[in-house]
Amino acid sequence: MLVVSSPSGAGKTTLCKMLLAQHDDLVMSVSATTRPPREGEQHGSDYFFVSPDEFKHMQDENQLLESASVFGNHYGTPSEPVEKLLNEGKDILFDIDWQGAEQLSEACGDNICKIFILPPSGHMLEKRLTSRATDSRAVVVKRMSAAAREIDHWSQYDYVIINDDLDIAWNELNAVFVAERHKTNRLVFLPEFVQTMLDELK
Amino acid sequence: MLVVSSPSGAGKTTLCKMLLAQHDDLVMSVSATTRPPREGEQHGSDYFFVSPDEFKHMQDENQLLESASVFGNHYGTPSEPVEKLLNEGKDILFDIDWQGAEQLSEACGDNICKIFILPPSGHMLEKRLTSRATDSRAVVVKRMSAAAREIDHWSQYDYVIINDDLDIAWNELNAVFVAERHKTNRLVFLPEFVQTMLDELK
């Protein structure tokens, strides 16, 4: 389970898409949300779009691994699809914020690797947030302060990647994923594999 | 500090050379040894070749970070060059066996990342050890049993890489190195970097 968080505008979505394209056995976790679908977003692949009542029901029934509220909308990770994917031996990528990352850590412990993507500087982030659309200055300021609150939690992550050059950042993110897969305690087939080897060497 | 261990014949030397060629700021630790130089080996770059008395003196004076005996020869890592390189901000690669890795862990703690390279199978290792030279069967058997003793310690390493295809194994070793460099606790410049960013976002 790979958690990637970052302030909005740091390039997380692009980097996650590149990682998913590279690794067939890594799949994206789909969150449930109460916010309305944007143009082109698909129920079940981008989000599970649910009503506030449905969301509350999922919370009450302990069907969410983590949940958070951002700008008045609720977001959460349904536990059932995650458990299904883990049982199939897949790795799962979570695009969630620091609140979600913290809750997921508590729920799933050592099984999680948490990566934080930083922009190269505050000025650069401001530029990216400003040039995004025709948003008013007030909206940009709100986004900047939300970004600052997110960045403030960098130290609770296992890895930090600074996205200055996309190719370099992608290479680093991919390296973390490949390395994590080779951690001794994640290679569950190794004890048997080594025993066979030792028998062959006798 | 990156420790790479493996049984003889698993391709460790080739993989380490590839990693060193890729990263300018990674340097090889040079061990002291009492075994005689082989054809082409240079004092100071391949090994520090010392007499048994000199080696004992280094041990008595606590000038070795780790030491081990293999086939009657002594090997050890002089501490002074390692400290100098670390102060220069270099990463250091150690090509040592499990005994050395264990001692280095005790001496340097969390600063160390330990990687174990495995051959794809015992039969393959036997083949590699047999085809190496015109060694007698007795020598090969001795090497195989030394390899088995080394392999037996795989579980004390942080990462395990199986060297079946050299390109894949190299990619994995490189990923571990790149990932380790992006661990939050290794990025000592980050607190200041993030503070500057947060100030810019105010």
Residues from chain A that touch B158, judged by Cβ atoms under 8 A, are 183-184
Note the Cα B156 to chain centre separation in Å.
Answer: 14
A182–B172 CB contact, under 8 Å: yes
Which CATH number goes with the domain that contains B36? Answer: 3.40.50.300
Pairwise CB contact (< 8 Å): A184 & B157: yes
More confident: A84 or B130? A84
Size of interface A-B (CB pairs under 8 A): 131
Cβ of A152 and B176 within 8 Å?
no
Domain count, chain B: 1
In chain A, what residues touch B152 (CB-CB under 8 Å)?
Answer: 194, 198
Closest chain A residue by Cα to residue B161? A182
Who has greater pLDDT, B17 or A69? B17
Q: Are A59 and A124 in contact (CB under 8 A)?
A: no
What integer is the mean pLDDT of B129-141?
77
Give pLDDT tens digits for B87-112.
998 999 999 899 899 999 988 887 89
Tell which of A127, A150, A197 to mutate to test the B interface (max B CBs under 10 Å). A197
Identify which of B154, B179, B202 has the shortest CB distance to residue A175: B179
Q: How far apart are CA B14 and CA B6, in angstroms?
A: 12
**Distance from the B158 Cα atom to the nearest Cα atom in chain A, whole angstroms:** 6
CB A64 within 8 A of CB A58: yes
Contact between B182 and A175 using a beta-carbon 8 Å cutoff: yes
pLDDT at position B147 is 92
Residue B69 is predicted with a pLDDT of 86
> In Å, how far is A87's CA from the nearest CA of chain B?
23
> Is residue A50 predicted with pLDDT exceeding 70?
yes
Query: Looking at CA atoms only, how far is residue B139 from chain A in angstroms?
Result: 14
B168: chain A residues, CB-CB within 8 Å: none
Query: Average pLDDT in the B59-78 region?
Result: 91
A200, B121: Cβ pair inside 8 Å?
yes
Rounded to 10°, the helix A190-201/B137-151 angle is 160
Tell me: the pLDDT tens digits for A134-191? Answer: 668 888 888 889 999 999 999 999 999 999 999 999 999 999 999 999 999 989 899 9
Q: For position A111, what pLDDT does the model report?
A: 86
For an interface test with A, give the residue of B197, B198, B200, B202 to mutate (most A CBs within 10 A).
B197
pLDDT band at A133 (very low <50, low <70, confident <90, very high): low
Contact B154 A118 (CB under 8 A): no
CA–CA gap between residue B117 and residue A156 (Å, rounded): 31
Instruction: Determine how many CB atoms are found less than 10 A away from the CB of residue A11.
Output: 19
Predicted confidence (pLDDT) per residue in A70-129, tens digit: 878 999 999 999 999 999 989 999 998 998 999 999 888 878 999 999 999 999 998 888
B182, B183, B199, best to mutate vs chain A, most A CBs in 10 Å: B182
The model carries a pTM of: 0.90
ipTM of the complex: 0.88
Are A126 and B200 within 8 A, CB to CB? Answer: yes
Contacts 24+ apart (CB under 8 A), B104-112: B104/B1, B104/B3, B104/B65, B104/B66, B104/B77, B107/B65, B107/B66, B108/B1, B108/B65, B110/B185, B111/B1, B112/B1, B112/B2, B112/B3
| Domain extent for B85 | 2-201
Taking CA–CA distances from A175, the nearest residue in chain B reads B175
Instruction: Give CA–CA dist B120/B124, Å, rounded.
Output: 7
